[in-house]
Amino acid sequence: MSLVKKCTMQKPPSFVLDGQGPLFKQIGRAVTEQILKGRYKQGERLPSEAELTTIFDTSRQTVNKAISELAKHGLVERNRRAGTVVSWQFQERFILPLRDVSDELEQNNQIYEYRIIERKVITNGKGGITWGALPAGANLLYLETIHLADGLPVQLETRYINFDAFPEVEHETFAERSPSKWLLENIPWSEVDHTVRATNASAELANKLGVKVGAACLVVDRQTFHRGKPITFVHLIYPGDRFSIKGKFSLANGEE
């Protein structure tokens, strides 16, 4: 029996606190730093919370808060007994924020307007329109809205609202607030479902958006629910050359 198991030559601590901001963030950065430097490789185990507690001379809570945050961002994985190891892949979590058009445009100092093109109550399943989340025969408020930036169309919104569940929309003209804003301010929601894809503009769409027939457009489909109850389904179409979704992510600062 050997006395030591290969004497893994205790690595230099080398964690450096920068003195900026809260301790738990400093610790998070220090550890992230060492991982990025390759000091801890993928699959490799980090010091336990107990060890980090002594390394940084702090309480376990603080260490836990720091490392749990890294785990939330997917940089490390934590397991009881097995300890904390560096993730093998953390590319799965690239993240894109999706914002309301009007907010997006305001930030760019563009002038935002919208116009309701059409408004009617329709029956789910008829006229070729079916919203799978609701049974056929349900009443839907149909709204078609065009959103403009500096007078140029940037988004065509086709919306269906669960009319039976929210009959109060009948008396809303959406003159003051766009349907999107009105819903957000008046109807609570708890779940959202998104799909983003690309499509070619049909003749009708091209006309409404002021682009050429066949032009590539970005399409965002969004379904909103509250406790499983469907609220609204919205189909957003953007001219491909006038709109894009942008997102940044930085490991050092946390999210976004």
Partner DNA sequence: AAGTGGTCTAGACCACACG
Partner DNA sequence: GTGTGGTCTAGACCACTTC
Q: Which residues bind its own copies (CB under 8 A)?
A: 32, 35-38, 42, 61, 88-89, 91-100, 103, 180, 184-185, 188-200, 214-219, 222, 226-227, 238, 240-241, 243-252
Could you say which of DNA, its own copies, none residue 48 binds, taking C-beta under 5 to 8 angstroms by partner kind? Answer: DNA
Q: What angle, rounded to 10 degrees, do the helices at 23-36 and 60-73 form?
A: 50
The nearest distance, CB 255 to DNA, in angstroms, is: 14
Q: Which stretch binds DNA (CB under 7 A): 22-30, 90-98, 177-185, 202-210?
A: 22-30
Alpha-carbon distance 124 to 131, whole Å?
Answer: 7
The nearest distance, CB 224 to DNA, in angstroms, is: 28
| Angle at CA of residue 59, ends 55 and 62, nearest 5° | 95
Cβ–Cβ < 8 Å for 123, 137: yes
Q: Which is nearer to DNA, 45 or 126 (CB)?
A: 45
Residue 94 CA: distances (Å) to CA of 74, 104, 188, 214, 220: 10, 20, 28, 30, 18
Q: Which stretch binds DNA (CB under 7 A): 46-54, 116-124, 127-135, 202-210?
A: 46-54
Token digits for 207?
A: 């006309």
Residue 2 engages DNA in binding (rule: CB under 7 A): no
Residue 55 engages DNA in binding (rule: CB under 7 A): no
Q: Which is nearer to its own copies, 106 or 113 (CB)?
A: 106
The nearest distance, CB 99 to DNA, in angstroms, is: 23
Alpha-carbon distance 105 to 103, whole Å?
Answer: 5
Alpha-carbon distance 143 to 179, whole Å?
Answer: 8
DSSP state of 256: -
Alpha-carbon distance 229 to 133, whole Å?
Answer: 9
Alpha-carbon distance 146 to 156, whole Å?
Answer: 5
Could you say which of DNA, its own copies, none residue 82 binds, taking C-beta under 5 to 8 angstroms by partner kind? Answer: DNA
Residue 61 engages DNA in binding (rule: CB under 7 A): yes
Residue 58 engages DNA in binding (rule: CB under 7 A): yes
Residue 46 engages DNA in binding (rule: CB under 7 A): yes
Token digits for 17?
A: 């606190």
Cβ–Cβ < 8 Å for 183, 161: yes
Cβ–Cβ < 8 Å for 145, 114: yes
Task: Report the site for DNA in 63-102 (rule: CB under 7 A).
Answer: 64-65, 67-68, 71, 78-84
The nearest distance, CB 217 to its own copies, in angstroms, is: 6
Residue 6 engages DNA in binding (rule: CB under 7 A): no
Residue 199 engages DNA in binding (rule: CB under 7 A): no
| Binding interface with DNA (CB under 7 A) | 21-25, 46, 48-50, 57-62, 64-65, 67-68, 71, 78-84
